[in-house]
Amino acid sequence: MPVPTIRPALINADTAAALRDVLGFRHFARHAYDADPELPRLAVLASRVSGLMPALRASMGAVLVELEAQR
């Protein structure tokens, strides 16, 4: 989400939606201490994150440009 007069959104809505599954898995994994890891699911999510890296870098780069322009 953007913070008006302070900064633009850090990531766009499409990237946020794609990361939602990853964040859900992370939340479960951190709090399910006695559960066995779901390695096939983890592999799928890792692949998805790898594919999102260019979009994340672009989003973060745009935020930096915007913040520099505000200085």
The torsion of the CA quartet 17, 19, 25, 29, rounded to 10 degrees, works out to -140
Those residues whose C-beta lies under 8 Å from the C-beta of residue 41, and which sit 6 or more positions away, are 25
Q: What is the share, in percent, of the chain residues with pLDDT greater than 70?
A: 90
Enter the pTM of the model: 0.62
Using one digit for the tens of pLDDT, what is the confidence trace for 32-59? Answer: 767 777 788 888 888 888 888 898 899 8
C-beta of residue 25 within 8 angstroms of C-beta of residue 42: yes
Q: What is the mean pLDDT of residues 10-14?
A: 85
Q: pLDDT band at 65, cuts 50/70/90?
A: very high
Q: What is the mean pLDDT of residues 12-40?
A: 77
